[in-house]
């Protein structure tokens, strides 16, 4: 962080006594122009955006209302209403576009349907070929794979007992979700699965503006086995992989013929390494597959996911947030969305990692919008100063002018740097399909 800004108020942190933090007795300095922290919304819980902080000359790196994007239950609560918007044009978006089938067990009807499916002959027969077809997820408050369980025979029996074969549906309000599992993932050279950790910068909610940054592949260190009950075989997050790498270090043993350092390097692939592998194995023939297929597909998926959940975002020009977005490809090259994480862990692990540029270039973008707003405000203030009656007459006129000046857009004087590594994929300040960089067809453009 020292390379891209000066840290202040170091005393306000998770190490503070809890009673001091919750008392709101710590002073928020007025000369701070960017409130950047990893509290994931704690500041706006205790302080009001636009009143106590994040005023006209300040920014804040969390968006109140982001729970609709980051909490598994709120996210899936947003799916079906969004699908309904496209019911007359299902080719634009439908319930199989990016989300696997799911049952929210806190919804009585969906809970009942899940247990009907669980006890059906069709499902039991299908387990002979596909032993793992669903995952059980805790709706909120879990991370690092801790809130995700494989729906194997033992987990099925546990749910069956807890819900009394579905008779307790509607009575139990636990935030549990059963969601489909990609049982035919695209596999790599050791027959191991992977997913994508990507970065998305919500640069504004007034209007909604989104930038994308390539991330990396998180590769499982276990060979894929649909019948395995080992969570590390099915989940590819870095936390589980690091546990396996640490085991190799402690035992001083090779795993998959690799040392601890080699495992660390192998666990994280670049996009380019994936493309080379797919070309070598004949899965693709397009040498520009990343730009012609993968990135456009990812950009389009992110646009839909953000639009789907943005109804809960606080609309405010001074807010932004960096998210780690997780996707997976199945063996048919179809992209599926997994989840989004705010304030993703940004610590380097291999030479391929791009954490520094992710932060540096996000600040470059945000300060371009910040300076553009300040330029418009300065011009507006000068205009008001030249009007002697500005503060006593026609206030609606000046309020309207302020709202226009405050609405985010880049001014020619303050562009994003040419060497910035992010890609603009959505700007709802633009008209029609231009708002989505042509990724959403004209007949499919629906504004929230």
Domains parsed from the chain with CATH numbers: 101-180 (3.30.1490)
d(CA 146, CA 240): 10
Looking at residues 27-38, what average pLDDT do you find? Answer: 79
- Beta-bridge partner residues of 46: none
Q: Which of 37, 169, 41, 20 is nearest to 103 (CA)?
A: 169
pLDDT value for 3: 60
d(CA 398, CA 404): 10
* Contact of 199 with 358, CB cutoff 8 Å: yes
Q: Which of 169, 181, 170 is nearest to 101 (CA)?
A: 181
Residue-wise pLDDT for 90-147, tens only, equals 999 999 999 999 999 999 999 999 999 999 999 999 999 899 999 999 987 655 556 7
Residue-wise pLDDT for 263-275, tens only, equals 777 888 999 999 9
Task: Provide the sign of the torsion angle of the four alpha carbons 432, 435, 441, 444, taken in this order.
Answer: negative
d(CA 175, CA 338): 17
By DSSP bridging, strand 59-60 and strand 34-35 are parallel
- Both tokens of residue 43? 């500041």
d(CA 429, CA 44): 26
pLDDT value for 391: 65
- Beta-bridge partner residues of 327: 196, 337
The helix/strand/coil state of 273 is helix
Residue-wise pLDDT for 329-338, tens only, equals 999 999 999 9
Phi, psi (rounded to 5 degrees) for 395: -60, -35
Q: In this structure, what DSSP letter does residue 416 have?
A: P
Write the Ramachandran bin of 230: left for phi over 0, alpha for psi from -120 to 50, otherwise beta. beta
* Sheet with 102-104: strands ordered across: 102-104, 176-180, 134-138, 148-150
By DSSP bridging, strand 148-150 and strand 194-205 are unpaired
Between 344 and 297, the more confident residue is 297
pLDDT value for 246: 64
Specify the pTM. 0.90
Judged against a pLDDT cut of 90, whether residue 247 lies above it is answered with: no
Task: Provide the sign of the torsion angle of the four alpha carbons 273, 235, 175, 100, taken in this order.
Answer: positive
pLDDT value for 42: 64
d(CA 301, CA 321): 18
Residue-wise pLDDT for 376-403, tens only, equals 999 999 998 888 776 667 788 888 999 9
Between 272 and 347, the more confident residue is 272
Least confident of 26-35, 276-285, 362-371: 26-35
Looking at residues 11-23, what average pLDDT do you find? Answer: 73
In the block, which residue shows the tokens 């998305």? 200
């Amino acid at each position: 962080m020292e390379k891209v800004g000066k840290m202040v108020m170091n005393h306000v942190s998770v190490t503070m006594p809890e009673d001091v933090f919750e008392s709101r007795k710590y002073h928020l300095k007025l000369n701070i122009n960017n409130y950047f922290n990893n509290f994931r919304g704690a500041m706006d819980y205790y302080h009001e955006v636009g009143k106590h902080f994040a005023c006209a000359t300040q920014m804040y790196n969390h968006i109140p209302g982001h729970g609709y994007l980051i909490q598994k239950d709120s996210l899936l609560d947003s799916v079906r209403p969004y699908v309904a918007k496209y019911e007359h044009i299902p080719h634009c978006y439908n319930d199989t576009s990016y989300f696997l089938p799911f049952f929210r067990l806190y919804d009585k009807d969906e809970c009942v349907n899940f247990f009907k499916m669980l006890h059906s002959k069709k499902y039991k027969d299908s387990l002979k070929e596909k032993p793992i077809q669903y995952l059980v997820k805790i709706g909120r408050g879990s991370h690092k794979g801790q809130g995700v369980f494989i729906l194997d025979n033992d987990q099925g029996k546990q749910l069956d007992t807890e819900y009394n074969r579905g008779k307790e549906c509607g009575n139990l309000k636990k935030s549990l979700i059963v969601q489909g599992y990609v049982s035919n993932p695209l596999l790599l050279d050791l027959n191991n699965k992977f997913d994508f950790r990507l970065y998305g910068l919500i640069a504004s909610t007034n209007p909604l503006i989104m930038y994308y940054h390539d991330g990396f592949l998180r590769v499982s260190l276990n060979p894929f086995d649909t019948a395995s009950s080992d969570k590390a075989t099915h989940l590819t997050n870095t936390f589980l992989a690091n546990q396996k790498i640490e085991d190799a270090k402690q035992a001083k043993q090779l795993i998959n013929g690799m040392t601890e350092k080699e495992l660390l390097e192998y666990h994280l692939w670049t996009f380019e390494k994936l493309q080379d592998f797919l070309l070598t194995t004949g899965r693709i023939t397009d040498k520009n597959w990343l730009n012609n297929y993968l990135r456009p597909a990812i950009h389009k998926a992110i646009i839909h996911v953000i639009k789907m959940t943005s109804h809960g975002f606080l609309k405010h020009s001074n807010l932004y947030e960096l998210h780690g977005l997780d996707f997976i490809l199945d063996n048919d090259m179809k992209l599926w969305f997994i989840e989004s994480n705010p304030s993703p862990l940004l610590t380097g692990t291999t030479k391929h990692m791009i954490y520094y540029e992710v932060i540096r270039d996000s600040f470059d973008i945000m300060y371009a919008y910040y300076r553009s707003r300040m330029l418009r405000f300065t011009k507006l203030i000068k205009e008001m100063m030249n009007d002697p009656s500005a503060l006593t007459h026609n206030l609606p006129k000046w309020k309207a002018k302020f709202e226009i000046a405050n609405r985010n857009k880049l001014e020619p004087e303050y562009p994003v740097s040419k060497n910035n590594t992010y890609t603009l994929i959505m700007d709802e300040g633009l008209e029609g399909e231009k708002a989505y960089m042509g990724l959403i067809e004209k007949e499919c453009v629906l504004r929230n």
